[in-house]
Chains A and B, each alone.
Chain A
Amino acid sequence: MTTVAVEPRPQPFEPRSIKRADYLNISYGVRSWLLTLDHKRIAILYLISISIFFFVGGVFAAVVRLELATPKGDLLQSDTYNKMFTLHGVVMLFFFLIPAIPATLGNFLVPLMIGAKDLAFPRLNLMSWYVFMIAGMFGIYTMLAGGVDTGWTFYTPLSPKYANSQVMTAALAALIAGFSSILTGLNFMVTIHKMRAPGLTWFRLPLFVWSQYATSLIQILGTPVLAVTILLVAAERMLHIGIFDPALGGDPVLFQHLFWFYSHPAVYIMILPAMGVISELVTTFAKKVIFGYSFIAFSSVAIAVLGFLVWGHHMFVSSQSPYAGLIFSFLSMLVAIPSAIKVFNWTATLWRGSVSWDTPMLYAFGFIGLFTIGGLTGLFLACLATDVHLTHTYFVVAHFHYIMVGGAIMAYLGGLHYWWPKITGRMYPEFWAKFAAIIIFVGFNLTFFPQFVLGYQGMPRRYHEYPAEFQVLNVMSTAGASILAVGYIIPAVYFIWSMKYAKVAGRNPWGATGLEWSTTSPPPADNFEKTPIVSLPPYIYSKEEATVVP
């Protein structure tokens, strides 16, 4: 125990004059970035790419919401509208949400948090970014060549047989992005198993690492099924032979089974890392050890495993056997328990803490509230009878946006603010950050809460025009979306500004525990001056003896 990895006190800002070699200034030039093997630089590459995709996907969303401001389909033709929501789904899911936290924050932080110099396979890491970009090229080609209008779900027999748009390239984009996701997951899993610093046992790992581990499990075991399913659809479309087309003796419901076997767990690829981020934020800004560490850690793994058992709840009205529906409904209900465990443990962590209201914590509050609503409304969709009424309606749209936008993106932004000083060495403007956080929270709720009501009223999703009685709520939703858009643009502006002009951050501006805060900001190319040795569990802020409430 030569080094104690934990710094209990916040450090004052370091003087600017000391010029250190960090991963950002160790070399310059495009080449040094495009051929880098440093996980931190690759994280930045991902950050830039997914931010672009986020705004592209956001533009599609804006167009969709604008069209829905009036009941008549007056802004867009129906097929243009269909392409807009399809591209919004494809871009946001495969090119933003799935890589969002793992490939940026995860890529940057996993080695730092476990005291390693890099991920286990740096070349593979760079390759996965290139694979991702190739997928992105296919995605962009799809958009330029006229778009795709099958919905991101690619349901058969619509996508292989009836759609006249760029289904092939869109499907290939999803397929290739999937490979990138597998490679990232594989890299993380090996890294977490094999590269932990001396003394860093499994139960000393930060909860973010646990959640990344669980996510990797899904990426490795779920994504290949999507890959093979897409290949079968592609074969069916190109060769007019196939196994999903009833006219050829096939079964379109089989496609739904294979598709959701991946695509339901994929939701957990998005939300599990978000939960990991929140666990970090809550402890830091309450200055208190997390409540129920092992329960949170195991609930991540439980969610990852349970996530594979519940896909059939997307198919209660698909002509799937009602008995299979019974089993899937039952299993879906069980996901409520690990989710409840997490929410209550985060809340309990605040109890008798020293709670600061810094921007990342605002996002954490927002996350807990919105995830609670998103998770609880999942009960309506896991429950057989209510799902019959609500599935395929705006209720579903609202539900998964509460999870993916209210959950995953809130946590992503919270994490980005929290680790921004570590990534860039600079702080961000606190006032604007708080302002944006509040705007996003308000805009989000105004956008998506009315959609719950719309869904219960029976408005089907993917309609470019709709009966007039639904207009009031749709106008509210569109108004909310414009507020939300402003909320997303503000951080983009001040983050770019901050890289040059903001206050320099020290090693540990938050006074947080965790190995990533023990190195300099930005970290050196090899992450640590010398390999840290860990002797304590995570989140030890106080030297006092920890107590256990019975």
Chain B
Amino acid sequence: MSPSATHTHDEHALVAHHFENLEQQRGANLLGMWLFLSSEVLFFGGIFTAYAMMRFSSTNNGFALGSSQLNAVVGGINTAVLLTSSLTMALAVWAAQTKHRRLLQLFLSLTLAFGLAFLVFKGFEWYHEYEVSLVPGPTFGSKLAEKGDGTVIPAETVKTMQMFFVFYFSITGLHALHMVVGLAVLAVQLVLCLQSDFGVRDYGPIEVFGLYWHFVDVVWIYVFPLLYLMRA
């Protein structure tokens, strides 16, 4: 899929033997990524559907209560961090297309940095939830009554809240997994860009990876309101 290691600018060297030309190769790679992403839509879609149905059929306000345990402002800031990494990724593709090697290196590094920042934030959030006993399991909710006004949440509402947090950790976990995979690929591309004229020679791989990165961003754009903001 990726071009061979030769450093010539000869198009012929960039095209795998079974393709006719670079145009065909780029088109195929982009199409492949788009198809993969439409597959991913259904992957996340499956769990979103489950979430929607459980929420719809739930008979108490455990989901809303669960949602209000999350900090929407922290989530919002993290959303902004991820959007920023999307911007720098888009700019990296632009730099590759216009053959600005230095800028390409800069923007890829920034994307990597913002992506890592997002994960670090997310990690702190998870740790906080662990501390206040919001991780599903036998001890779930044991520290709920300590804060707040001392009112006791009925047991079955706690159960529904736990269901909410099962979804929360599954969805954010799967999203984080996609981030980790993305960051790994990004790191490889960055190293290649620092070492060679990878990217400016053929912007194809950068563009294809960019699609993936933006998609992970789009998933978060839905995760954020679905988990953090539905608290009424």
Contacts and interface: CB of A to CB of B under 8 A. Distances in A.
Contacts of B35: 186, 189-190, 220
A89 to B, nearest CB: 22
Contacts of B170: 231-232, 235
A225 B28 contact: no
B159 interface: yes
A195 B28 contact: yes
Tell me which of A117, A187, A243, A250 has the highest count of chain B C-beta atoms within 10 A of its own C-beta. A243
A292 interface: no
Interface residues of A, number: 45
B123 interface: no
A224 B178 CA distance: 14
B225 interface: no
B43 A227 contact: yes
A118 B25 CA distance: 12
Interface in A225-273: 225, 227-229, 231-232, 235, 239-243, 248-251, 254, 257-258, 261
Given A227-B43, A239-B136, A254 B53 contact: yes
Contacts of A134: none
A250 B46 contact: no
The bracket for how many chain B residues form the interface is 35 or more
B3 to A, nearest CB: 13
Interface in B13-36: 16-20, 24, 27-28, 31-32, 35-36
Contact of A116 (B18, B36, B54, B160): B18
Contacts of A220: 35, 38-39
B77 interface: no
A116 B17 CA distance: 11
Given A248-B162, A250-B54, A221 B42 contact: yes
A194 B31 contact: yes
Contact of A242 (B16, B19, B49, B166): B166
A248 B1 contact: no
A312 B35 CA distance: 26
A248 B32 contact: no
Nearest to B36: A186
A190 B31 contact: yes
Contact of B53 (A119, A186, A251): A251
Interface string A100-122: 00000000000000001111111
A102 to B, nearest CB: 15
A64 interface: no
Contacts of A191: 28
A193 B40 CA distance: 20
A182 interface: yes
A536 B101 CA distance: 48
Nearest to A228: B46
B147 to A, nearest CB: 23
A228 B177 CA distance: 13
Contact of A249 (B24, B31, B39, B163): B163
A220 B39 CA distance: 5
B45 to A, nearest CB: 7
Contacts, number: 112
Interface in A494-550: 526, 531
A122 B39 CA distance: 20
B18 A118 contact: yes
A123 B28 contact: no
A123 B1 contact: yes
B54 A190 contact: no
B137 interface: yes
Contact of B163 (A118, A123, A250): A250
B198 to A, nearest CB: 18
A450 interface: no
A531 B17 CA distance: 13
Interface in A161-219: 182, 186-187, 189-191, 193-195
Contact of A229 (B28, B44, B46): B46
A70 interface: no
B38 A251 contact: no
Contacts of A182: 36, 39
B32 A120 contact: yes
B39 A251 contact: no
A241 B162 CA distance: 8
Interface in B38-83: 38-40, 42-47, 49-50, 53-54, 57-58
Contacts of B53: 251, 254, 257
A232 B39 contact: no
Interface string B152-174: 00001001101100110010001
Contacts of B50: 232, 243, 254, 258
A228 B31 contact: no
Nearest to A236: B166
A222 interface: yes
Contacts of A223: 39
A243 B137 contact: no
A221 B39 contact: yes
A123 B166 CA distance: 37
A194 B24 contact: yes
A243 B162 contact: no
A26 to B, nearest CB: 14
Contact of B137 (A118, A231, A241): A241
Contact of A224 (B18, B40, B137, B167): B40
28 contacts: A117-B18, A120-B18, A120-B32, A121-B32, A122-B16, A124-B1, A186-B32, A186-B35, A187-B32, A190-B31, A191-B28, A194-B27, A195-B19, A221-B39, A224-B40, A224-B42, A224-B43, A228-B174, A231-B174, A232-B50, A241-B162, A241-B166, A243-B50, A243-B54, A243-B167, A249-B159, A250-B54, A254-B50
Given A221-B39, A221-B42, A235-B166, 20 more contacts: A118-B18, A123-B1, A190-B28, A190-B32, A190-B35, A194-B24, A194-B27, A224-B42, A224-B46, A228-B43, A231-B170, A241-B137, A243-B50, A248-B162, A249-B162, A251-B54, A254-B50, A254-B53, A257-B49, A531-B20
Interface of A: 116-124, 182, 186-187, 189-191, 193-195, 220-225, 227-229, 231-232, 235, 239-243, 248-251, 254, 257-258, 261, 526, 531
